């Protein structure tokens, strides 16, 4: 009995010694502040986070911004907590974070909230394409939505187009341990603003890039700000930023504020949902991220110690488990179906046909590298026999089926489409996406 318990006691002693060693090394070098901006574990821009890149100060500022008005935190479900009472207008939805995730129900609720006559202020590095499909539904000529642009620099000079307060031009910067670093500043391309549409710039980055803009929708409006770092604790603790921030928040309606504390996700996740993960800034090594998070670091140290002890007391080769790979899914097919259902419910057959073809052409561009330009006068894709042959060769779909999709789409532009025409076009695109290689 005594002999069998000896290895267990030795293992426990070894774990205790390894744990004590790592604890001492970790605590001795632990920084006083957490300078990570990332939203992993919902820390970056979290309203309860008092670290440099939390949003505790902005949260507390807005909680008392309008005297006599309510400040409500949305913590469970946007689709259920955000009000849509048509008699309750002039209120505000506020989101500050690297990126946001909204399901179809949450997207619809936010759109209905704004269209009824309310304001949505969204400050993020990227914005869901599913939301912008409706916010930027009427597009400028040959300017399909392709997310925010990005320019890297050590400093960003923010200014307002029509400053309500004097001297609103302010310099912002990203820092670690109070040392400024190069940072990817985001902006909205100027080609998304044209005289024929109502959206217009409200502020600029370095005088040339638009980083704050208004997009009207129904009776309300979306206020999009592309750099949430301006509303972080680190920025707001600097006295020279107060005038600019006050100018931005002055665009809010004087009503209740609904703070979104549930839709915040990391920038990488938001860009991946938009199919733009390759546009993210350079990714750090996975082990670097693990060691920067206290909980994950301790888990890594303990696992490493246990693995060493296991090798010492029971060194035996074992074949590792072969993972089961998930079945590939055609996300383009699912997305087009979702958009089609939303337009079909409203009997917007013309919008259904246009949006369906836009996403179909985007799928050809991203999946097969086939870029199709639209004729500015007719709105028809510019195609020829060589184009159809290329699609057929790359997708292994018969050329006659591909030509049929473009022919059905042309009919919806030449004539007022009805339900049957819209359904024929939608089914043709569905059949292509299901069979394409």
Digit-coded pLDDT (tens) for 377-388: 777 888 888 888
Residues 77/110, Cβ–Cβ less than 8 Å:
no
| CB proximity list for 281: less than 8 A, separation 6 or greater | 150, 184
Residue 188 DSSP code: B
Element (H, E) at 289: helix 286-292
Residues 48/54, Cβ–Cβ less than 8 Å:
yes
Among left, alpha and beta (phi > 0; psi -120 to 50; other), residue 177 is left
Distance, in Å, from the CA atom of 101 to the CA atom of 85, rounded to the nearest integer, reads 23
Residue ranges covered by each domain of the chain: 2-30+284-313, 40-279, 332-435
For the chain, 437 residues long, the average pLDDT of each consecutive 10-residue run is 60 71 59 72 82 94 94 93 85 96 94 95 95 93 91 93 72 89 94 93 94 96 97 94 93 95 91 67 56 76 84 63 63 56 64 80 84 78 84 87 86 80 84 85
Q: Residue 318, Cβ neighbours under 10 Å: how many?
A: 5
Distances (CA, A) of 8 to 104, 300, 309, 316: 53, 21, 10, 18
Of 266, 272, 273, the closest CA to residue 97 belongs to 266
Q: Which residue has the tokens 């069979």?
A: 435
Residues 367/387, Cβ–Cβ less than 8 Å:
no
Bridge partners, residue 157, by sequence: 171
Distance, in Å, from the CA atom of 393 to the CA atom of 266, rounded to the nearest integer, reads 38
Distance, in Å, from the CA atom of 121 to the CA atom of 166, rounded to the nearest integer, reads 22
The pLDDT, as a whole number, for residue 5 is: 62
The pLDDT, as a whole number, for residue 90 is: 93
User: What b-and-e string marks burial along 284-312, b requiring 16 or more CB atoms within 10 Å of the CB?
Assistant: eeeeeeeebbeeeeeeebeeebeeebeee
Residue 374 DSSP code: B
Q: For 76-124, what is the HEC assignment?
A: CCHHHHCCCCCCCCCCEEEEECCEECCCHHHHHHHHHHHHCCCEEEEEC
The pLDDT, as a whole number, for residue 164 is: 60
Helix, strand, coil shares of the chain, percent, nearest 5, are 45, 15, 40
The pLDDT, as a whole number, for residue 295 is: 77
- pTM (two decimals): 0.59
The pLDDT, as a whole number, for residue 21 is: 67
The pLDDT, as a whole number, for residue 279 is: 47
The pLDDT, as a whole number, for residue 399 is: 87
- For 40-279, give the CATH class: alpha beta
| CB proximity list for 252: less than 8 A, separation 6 or greater | 65, 92, 94, 119, 121, 223
The pLDDT, as a whole number, for residue 84 is: 85
Distance, in Å, from the CA atom of 200 to the CA atom of 146, rounded to the nearest integer, reads 18
| CB proximity list for 119: less than 8 A, separation 6 or greater | 91, 92, 93, 220, 221, 222, 223, 251, 252, 253
The token duo for 4 is 């069998």
């Amino acid at each position: 009995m005594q002999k069998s318990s000896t290895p267990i006691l030795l293992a426990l002693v070894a774990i205790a010694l390894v744990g004590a060693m790592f604890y001492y090394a970790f605590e001795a070098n632990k920084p006083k502040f957490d300078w990570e901006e990332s939203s992993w574990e919902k820390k970056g821009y979290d309203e309860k986070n008092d670290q440099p890149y939390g949003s505790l100060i902005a949260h507390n500022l807005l909680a008392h911004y309008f005297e006599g008005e309510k400040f409500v935190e949305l913590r469970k479900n946007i689709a259920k907590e955000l009000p849509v009472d048509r008699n309750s207008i002039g209120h505000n939805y506020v989101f500050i974070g690297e990126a946001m995730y909204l399901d179809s129900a949450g997207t619809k609720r936010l759109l209905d909230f704004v269209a009824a006559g309310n304001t949505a202020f969204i400050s993020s590095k990227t914005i869901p394409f599913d939301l912008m499909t409706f916010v930027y539904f009427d597009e400028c000529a040959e300017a399909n939505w392709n997310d925010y642009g990005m320019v890297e620099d050590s400093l960003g000079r923010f200014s307002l187009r029509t400053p309500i307060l004097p001297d609103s031009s302010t310099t912002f910067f990203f820092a670690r341990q109070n040392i400024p670093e190069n940072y990817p500043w985001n902006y909205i391309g100027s080609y998304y603003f044209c005289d024929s549409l109502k959206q217009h710039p409200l502020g600029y980055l370095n005088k040339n890039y638009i980083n704050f803009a208004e997009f009207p929708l129904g009776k309300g409006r979306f206020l999009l700000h592309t750099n949430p770092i301006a509303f972080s604790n680190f920025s707001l603790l600097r006295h020279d930023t107060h005038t600019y921030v006050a100018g931005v928040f002055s665009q809010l309606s004087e009503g209740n504020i609904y703070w979104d504390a549930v839709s915040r996700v990391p920038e990488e996740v938001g860009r991946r949902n938009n199919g733009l993960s390759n546009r993210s800034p350079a990714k750090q090594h996975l082990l670097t991220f693990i060691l920067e998070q206290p909980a994950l670091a301790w888990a890594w140290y303990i696992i490493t110690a246990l693995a060493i002890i296991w090798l010492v007391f029971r060194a035996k080769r074992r074949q590792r488990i072969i993972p089961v790979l998930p079945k590939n899914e055609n996300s383009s097919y699912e997305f087009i179906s979702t958009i089609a259902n939303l337009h079909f419910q409203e009997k917007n057959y013309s919008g259904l046909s246009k949006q369906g073809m836009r996403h179909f052409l985007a799928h050809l561009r991203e999946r097969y590298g086939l870029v199709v330009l639209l004729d500015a006068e007719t709105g028809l894709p510019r195609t020829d026999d060589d184009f159809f042959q290329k699609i057929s060769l790359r997708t292994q779909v018969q050329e006659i089926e591909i030509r049929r999709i473009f022919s059905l789409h042309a009919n919806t532009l030449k004539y007022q489409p009805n339900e049957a025409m819209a359904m024929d076009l939608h089914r043709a695109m569905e059949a292509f996406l299901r069979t394409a290689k």
